[in-house]
Structure 1
Amino acid sequence: MLINEILGEEIQERDEEALKYLKDIKWCRIDDPKGFKLEFFFDTNPFFKNSVLAKTYHIDEEDEPILEKAIGTEIDWCRGKCLTQNVLKKKPKKGSKNTKPITIVEDCESFFKFFSPTEGPNDDKEIDDKLAEQLMEQIQKDYDIAFTIRDNIIPHAVSWFTTEASQDEYYKAILEDDEDEEDYNDYEEEQNYQDDGN
């Protein structure tokens, strides 16, 4: 997951230890309502109690696919292990009557925020254009991550694990940019030579 361009941007250094407990990722189509579901299976770990984290996408496919709703699993974090928040303790100001440290909880970037998606603009609630645009960008980003996992990571998991997929992506990009087939043919010959046990 780390070497995929889209997912690599989402996974923070602090997420990596928790993701070592990830055993498998599966997806299935759902019919009522139409859409699909991603399931992440985890071994017992010190970060959260869930064995499966799921994300379900409801999609309207009448004319073209439109995301209607995304529902994620609520993560049951172990005490002090939440990766989507930073807990900061600040000393009170000098001269303050309060002598105890002040605890501040801040949201922070984490791959695990994927399971609590941003809701789209609500017709009942007025929001300004800038905020609506930000929400739509976040929803699109969430959608892109889901399709990357479903269509790219899951079917080619072994290739990503062995880093072969990233090398193939690199050489295909060279072909698209330079239209130079010789580089890719040399790469394929080298791969075939290695596959033959030489």
Structure 2
Amino acid sequence: MSSDKQQDSLNLADLGSALSAEDRAGLVDALKNKLQSLAGKHTDVLETLSPVVRKRVEVLREVQSQHDELEAKFFEERAALEAKYQKLYEPLYTKRYEIVNGVVEVEGIKDESPEETSSEDKASEEKGVPGFWLTAMKANEVLTEEIQERDEEALKYLKDIKWCRIEDPKGFKLEFFFNPNPFFKNAVLTKTYHMVDEDEPILEKAIGTEIEWFPGKCLTQKILKKKPKKGSKNAKPITKTEDCESFFNFFKPPQVPDDDADIDEETAEELQGQMEVDYDIGRVEESKPNDQLSANNSNTFTMDGAFSAV
């Protein structure tokens, strides 16, 4: 395999207000340790085989090794090709941003004659393409499951999403750029994925920005009010805060148990499932380019299929 490939755990520089890398790494290590203990120690299968079959398996291992060498070269060349075309895509992404956000006007609109524009159209004239990203995200079969009705108003302020590859450690980063809005202070929400082996790929950790919600505007929690019991001295309603489903949970990684012993089989599987869902959202499937935000892994969240979605 390529010498660039990092097999050990990758250290992640904290993104300011993001969840600490130590906590996220702790989750990965805890899951690995627990799943290994559940599976038990593997015995060397070769020891149970006859000498003739053992020899055949050893040759098969050599074949696999040769395959791995070729695969490493393939990944290396693919990365170079993706980097080349990413630079060619950039002007198109810039043009898309300018049109969507009303920075520039497309040809033909300014030349439209007064007769062709009704008074109703003039009154409702808007810049760019309002709700472009929300519409495109809801058209994606993975993301639409994560977007709740209460999220939609906040996502209307989303003006751009950018993707970039990170090299040390390996992985990729998503940046969500927002116009000023009444929900949170952050201008940019970031999600960074670090891969144990980017070419496979295997998710090692993911870190999201901590969202600075304005008072009473948090979309990842809901406030429940209960009437006090009859005869209670306190006549005020009891207020309780609970976590709730929201697209913005995407920026909030799973809770890490303090002790490996706290993770039973069911918890380990649940956490592993959460990590898989988290990764699926960030790395949208490439099988249906016209229905997805991305047509391939190198352009995740860059909207190759979004033009047909709006």
1:87 aligned to 2:223? Answer: yes
Q: What is the aligned counterpart of 2:304 among 153, 156, 163?
A: 156
Provide closer, same or farther for how the CA distance between residues 13 and 129 of structure 1 changes in structure 2, counting only shifts above 3 A.
same
1:13 aligned to 2:161? Answer: no
Partner of 1:75: 211
**1: CA distance, partners of 2:160 / 2:198:** 32
Q: Which has the higher contact order (CA 8 A, sep 6+)?
A: 2
1:42 aligned to 2:178? Answer: yes
Q: Within 5 Å, give how 1:91-102 maps onto structure 2.
A: 91-102=227-238
Provide closer, same or farther for how the CA distance between residues 79 and 139 of structure 1 changes in structure 2, counting only shifts above 3 A.
same
Q: Within 5 Å, give how 1:1-198 maps onto structure 2.
A: 1-61=137-197, 64-118=200-254, 124-148=260-284, 151=297, 153-156=301-304, 158-162=306-310
Between Structure 1 and Structure 2, the one with more strand by share is: 1
Bigger mean CA deviation after superposition, 146-155 or 7-16:
146-155
1:135-188 CA deviation, whole Å, 9 max, x = no partner? 1111000000000156454141542542xxxxxxxxxxxxxxxxxxxxxxxxxx
Moved over 6 A (4+): 120-123
**2: CA distance, partners of 1:160 / 1:71:** 31
Partner of 1:178: none
Unaligned runs of 5+ in 1: 163-198
Deviation, structure 1 residue 97: 1.6
Aligned residues: 162
Which of these two proteins has the greater Rg computed from alpha carbons?
Answer: 2
Provide closer, same or farther for how the CA distance between residues 14 and 98 of structure 1 changes in structure 2, counting only shifts above 3 A.
same
Q: Does the Cα contact within 8 Å between 1:153 and 1:160 map onto a contact in 2? A: no
Provide closer, same or farther for how the CA distance between residues 62 and 90 of structure 1 changes in structure 2, counting only shifts above 3 A.
closer
- Percent of paired sites with the same residue: 67
TM-score norm. by structure 2 comes to 0.49
Provide closer, same or farther for how the CA distance between residues 96 and 160 of structure 1 changes in structure 2, counting only shifts above 3 A.
farther
